[in-house]
Amino acid sequence: MAEGAGILVGTADGLHRVGDGGGVELAGHRVTALAGLRGANAVAGSDGEWVALLDGRSVWLGDGRGSWEEVAALEGPPATCLVRVPDGTLVGTAEAHLVRVGEDGSAEIVAGFEAADGRDGWYTPWGGPPDTRSLAVAPDGALFANVHVGGILRSTDGGDTWAPTIDVDTDVHQVLAPGGPVLAASAYGLGESLDGGLTWDLVTDGLHATYLRAVARVGDDVLVSASAGPGGDRSALYRRAGGTGPFERCRHGLPEWLGGNVDTGWLAAAGPRAAFATADGTVYAASDGGRTWDAVTRGLPRVTCLALT
């Protein structure tokens, strides 16, 4: 990796910095989620400014170099994901709730999400309650909340009201709104919306299997992880050059199969750099848009999230 370029890997035991000096912060904590303060999504926080979700129970702000401060303790079902918004942090939870955490540490359930159309139809294949699984904010401020299993809901009024978009049964695992098309990693391929999330198409051309758990945009290209299903059998990484056309399998520097799903939050990209983690605690990085990969560390504790610095 280039000097100064690092990867922050959230794990079941602390936040591990790969490259850029290395080190472990927040040891003993499960780093549930991580987002840059300036970026819309969990990538490239400027000067290492980050917001982290720890143990599913508290929100912390930090510089990614050991200085962290708890800003809010959360009650209720465990928190699962987060995204920075203009007036604080939006946190998703188990049982499919949203909590708005203010800059003053206040935490309030987002009532509009509780009242979202179609909520009664959200479910899980195992019969339990659905979770809010991923969040995204587009450059124009539109908010996206992915429920598993409940599709993707969109808010264009700062989170006051939410409307369903993609079909619930598309089984979305991650939503991403980096500018340009809104993207969704789903069980049926890559969901792509060219109209801000109103309508969606599914892209599968070139994939050996359509069960996608993670998506990232690296430059104009799109990276996804794909496998045969929840067990992660025959898991691989793919790149869609220019965001159009078929997917191409990423092979250079990677094993034949990745040994389990590259899960939601385990794949990130910024500029030409990208990185992802595997279930066995290996992190791979690329600096050429995902064309060639190197294993940059191995043996990490169970990975929970990943971001680039």
Partner 1 sequence: MTTAIDVRRADTRPRTALPWLDSRHSFSFGRHYDPTNTHHGLLVVSNDDVVRAGTGFSTHPHQDMEIVTWVLDGELEHKDSAGHQGLLYPGLAQRMSAGTGIWHSEMNPRSDADVHFVQMWVLPDTERVDPGYEQLDVNGDLDRGGLVPIASGRDHDAAISIRQRDAVLWGGRLQPGETVWVPDARWVHLFVAGGAVELEAAGPLAAGDAVRLTEAGRPRLVADPVEGAEVLIWETHG
- Where do contacts with partner 1 occur on this chain (CB under 8 A)? 120-128, 149, 168, 171, 187-188, 209-211, 228-231, 233-234
Q: How far is the CB of 251 from partner 1 (least distance, A)?
A: 20
Q: How far is the CB of 185 from partner 1 (least distance, A)?
A: 13
One-letter amino acid of 147: V
Q: Which residue has the tokens 């009201």?
A: 161
Q: How far is the CB of 290 from partner 1 (least distance, A)?
A: 24
- Is 238 in a helix, a strand, or coil? strand
Q: Which residue has the tokens 């912060």?
A: 25
8 Å CB contact between 53 and 73:
no
- Is 170 in a helix, a strand, or coil? helix
Q: How far is the CB of 122 from partner 1 (least distance, A)?
A: 7
Nearer to partner 1, 46 or 124 (CB): 124
How far apart (Å, rounded) are the C-alpha atoms in residues 125 and 137?
Answer: 27
Nearer to partner 1, 28 or 127 (CB): 127
Nearer to partner 1, 148 or 217 (CB): 148
Nearer to partner 1, 61 or 279 (CB): 279
Nearer to partner 1, 24 or 279 (CB): 279
Q: How far is the CB of 17 from partner 1 (least distance, A)?
A: 28
How far apart (Å, rounded) are the C-alpha atoms in residues 218 and 44?
Answer: 12
Q: What is the 3-state secondary structure (H, E, C) of 44-66?
A: CCHHHCEEEEECCCEEEEECCCC
